[in-house]
């Protein structure tokens, strides 16, 4: 039988951006920028977004949703 497998994950351009960012503060900034872009795109498609920061870093979630102001 033919089996189709789907991989759900970030697009190659997102992976490349995160890889270029490396780690630490620069990676956090890039991750926030990507999440902000996704939040703005989702704004056009639905009535809300669910933001869950890594490791309870609430400040990152706040920075993501600040783009909606």
Dig out the tokens for 22 from the structure: 């490396």
pLDDT in tens, 1-59: 456 666 677 888 999 999 999 999 999 999 999 999 999 999 888 888 889 988 889 99
pLDDT at residue 61 in the model: 94
pLDDT at residue 8 in the model: 72
DSSP state of 52: -
Residue whose C-alpha is closest to residue 37's, from 9, 8, 64, 69: 64
Buried b (16+ CB within 10 A) or exposed e, 33-64: ebbbebbeeeeeeeeebeeeeeeeeeebbebb
pLDDT at residue 9 in the model: 79
Dig out the tokens for 2 from the structure: 């033919």
């Amino acid at each position: 039988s033919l089996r189709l497998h789907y991989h759900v994950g970030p697009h190659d351009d997102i992976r490349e951006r995160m890889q270029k960012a490396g780690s630490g503060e620069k990676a956090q900034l890039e991750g926030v920028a990507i999440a902000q872009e996704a939040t703005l795109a989702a704004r056009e498609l639905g009535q809300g977004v669910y933001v869950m920061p890594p490791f309870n870093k609430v400040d990152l979630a706040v920075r993501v949703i600040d783009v909606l102001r």
